[in-house]
Amino acid sequence: MISRRQFVTGTLATFGFGGSLSFLASCGSSSSSADNELFQVVQRFPQVLVPGSVRIPISLANQAGLLGKTSGVELPTELRAQLLNSETGEVIIADMVAMRHDANIDPPYWPFRADIAAAGIYSLVVDGGTQDGAGVQIMDPATVSIPLIGTPLPGFDTPTTADSRGVNPLCTRNPEPCPLHDITLNEALKLGKPIAYLVGTPAHCQTGTCSPALEALLEIRELVGDRLTMLHAEIYTDDTATIVAPAVEALNMTYEPALFITDAKGVLVERFDAIFDAVEITEAFTALGVL
What is the reported pLDDT for 209?
85
Helices (H), 92-240: 185-189, 210-224
What is the reported pLDDT for 8?
28
The separation between the first and the last C-alpha atoms of the chain, rounded to the nearest angstrom, is 32
3-5-7 Cα angle (round to 5): 85
Per-residue pLDDT reduced to its tens digit, 22-72? 334 332 223 334 444 556 788 899 989 999 999 999 988 877 788 888 888
Residue 142's beta-bridge partner residues?
none
Round to whole Å and give the CA distance between 89 and 19: 18
For the ranges 66-75, 106-115, 165-174, 180-189, the lowest mean pLDDT is seen at 66-75
Per-residue pLDDT reduced to its tens digit, 231-274? 999 999 998 888 999 999 999 998 889 999 999 999 999 999 99
DSSP state of 141: G
For the ranges 64-68, 113-117, 140-144, the lowest mean pLDDT is seen at 64-68
Q: Helix 278-288 and helix 210-224: axis angle, to 10°?
A: 40
Give residue 271's Cα distance to chain centre. Answer: 9
| In the predicted structure, residue 214 carries a pLDDT above the cut 80 | yes
Residue 129's pLDDT band, with cuts at 50, 70 and 90, is low
What is the reported pLDDT for 128?
63
Amino acid at position 94, single letter: A
Round to whole Å and give the CA distance between 178 and 241: 19
For 191-216, what is the mean pLDDT?
A: 87
By DSSP bridging, strand 258-262 and strand 38-43 are unpaired
What is the reported pLDDT for 139?
96
b (16+ CB within 10 A) / e for 138-164: beeeeeeebbebeeebeebebbbeeee
Choice between 11 and 127, residue whose per-residue pLDDT is larger? 127
For the ranges 14-23, 82-91, 113-122, 188-197, the lowest mean pLDDT is seen at 14-23
For 118-142, what is the mean pLDDT?
A: 86
Q: Domains in the chain, please, with CATH?
A: 4-143 (2.60.40), 185-288 (3.40.30.10)
Round to whole Å and give the CA distance between 67 and 59: 8
CB 157 within 8 A of CB 185: yes
Choice between 36 and 19, residue whose per-residue pLDDT is larger? 36
b (16+ CB within 10 A) / e for 169-190: bbbbbeeebbebbebbbeebbe
CB 264 within 8 A of CB 195: no
